[in-house]
Amino acid sequence: MSHLRPDGDAIGSQLALGLALEEMGKTVYYWNVDGLPESMEFLPYSDKISLPPEVAPLIDVAVALDTATKVRLGEANIAACAQAKLWVNIDHHMSNPRYGDMNYVDATSPATGQIIYEIIQALQMPLPDGTRDAIYVAVSTDTGSFQYDSTTAKTYRMAADLMDRGLKIGQINAKTYDNHPYRRVELLRTLLNTLELSAAGKVASWEMLDATRVSLQLQPDDSEGLIDMIRAIRGVQVAVFFEELPDGKIRVSMRSKDRSVDVCKIATIFGGGGHYLAAGIRMAGPIAAAKELVLAEIAKAI
């Protein structure tokens, strides 16, 4: 399992670990409460990702991947794993409260996908081609294409090893980054019209109303990564994306340019979490109130 609104690291980690375990003869189910995002359909065997079933099969071990808190797995996943004898929690969020029976939380790792790679190496598990591709996409998407500070020499050595194992680098990057639906660029146009600077130009924010989701027929992953565009503004320290969800809650996505502002700490104030440079919140609306509260905390931190 991985977190709701899954990103590349969530889906990639599920496939990477699951396919290796299947190669060892294990029976694996791949569950996500929001299913497979369209942007990840290109990954080999991604059609194995399904919603958790209402009547769950007997399972021995529940593995949570890339999921900062147990509730972010979603209720249906937790219910489907109620009979599991062992809970394993593999993650790289520093805010992870270690909710498993066994916990492998490495906040120095740039992606859960890299932890999976290290586990596979350490335990001499098989690394089939599907796992290879999934690890690459997991790490690439969580590091902003191997750019963030969290990227280490180990990360590049891992990528080199994946290439030695036959990874088609140009092809997989094109499928990951040059294959967006037109509606995503229409969303970008809408977001740009709401762009605001605050805190003397150190904070850039934009917002998306639920009506935009309806009119552009957006999928949850269509906004993934767009925030990097306003994080890249000269002088901006923190970028924030406010999104009105269908249930009226507000999803807040934050990015910091460097460690002088810890957005995870700000997220934690509102019950969210994440990393120093990338964190998120789900909080009560309306959107104007959420904006005021979060921007005030960010201004204070700056």
Kindly compute the dihedral angle of the four CA atoms of residues 158, 46, 253, 274, in this order, to the nearest 10 degrees. Answer: -50
Minimum gap (Å) between residue 110 Cβ and Mn ion: 8
- Pick one of Mn ion, ligand AMP, none as the site partner of residue 184 (Cβ within 5 to 8 A by kind): none
- Pick one of Mn ion, ligand AMP, none as the site partner of residue 253 (Cβ within 5 to 8 A by kind): ligand AMP
The string over 260-291, giving b where at least 16 C-beta atoms fall within 10 Å of a residue's C-beta and e elsewhere, is: ebbbbbbbbebebbbbbbbbbbbbebebeebb
- Choose which of 1, 4, 7, 74 interacts with Mn ion (CB under 5 A): 7
- Pick one of ligand AMP, Mn ion, none as the site partner of residue 63 (Cβ within 5 to 8 A by kind): none
Query: Cα separations (Å) of 136 from 77, 154, 172, 251?
Result: 26, 13, 9, 27
CB proximity list for 27: less than 8 A, separation 6 or greater: none
- In DSSP terms, 30 is beta-bridged to 49
In degrees rounded to 5, what are phi and psi of residue 114?
-70, -35
- Pick one of ligand AMP, Mn ion, none as the site partner of residue 13 (Cβ within 5 to 8 A by kind): none
CB nearer to Mn ion: give 95 or 112: 112
CB 231: neighbour CB atoms within 10 A? Answer: 20
- Pick one of Mn ion, ligand AMP, none as the site partner of residue 205 (Cβ within 5 to 8 A by kind): none
Task: Count residues binding Mn ion (CB under 5 A).
Answer: 6
Minimum gap (Å) between residue 37 Cβ and ligand AMP: 12
Residues 138-197 interacting with Mn ion (rule: CB under 5 A): 142
Helix (H) or strand (E) holding 175: helix 169-177
What tokens were used for 7?
């990103």
Decide: is 221 part of the binding site for Mn ion (CB under 5 A): no
Minimum gap (Å) between residue 25 Cβ and Mn ion: 28
- Pick one of Mn ion, ligand AMP, none as the site partner of residue 52 (Cβ within 5 to 8 A by kind): none
- In DSSP terms, 89 is beta-bridged to 64, 103
* Three-state secondary structure call for residue 148: coil
- Choose which of 37, 49, 62, 66 interacts with Mn ion (CB under 5 A): 66
CB nearer to Mn ion: give 44 or 144: 144
As a residue count, the chain comes to 302
Binding positions for ligand AMP, rule: CB under 6 A:
3, 7, 68-69, 72, 93, 253, 272-275, 278-282
Minimum gap (Å) between residue 282 Cβ and ligand AMP: 4
In the complex, the residues that contact Mn ion under the rule CB under 5 A are: 7, 9-10, 66, 112, 142
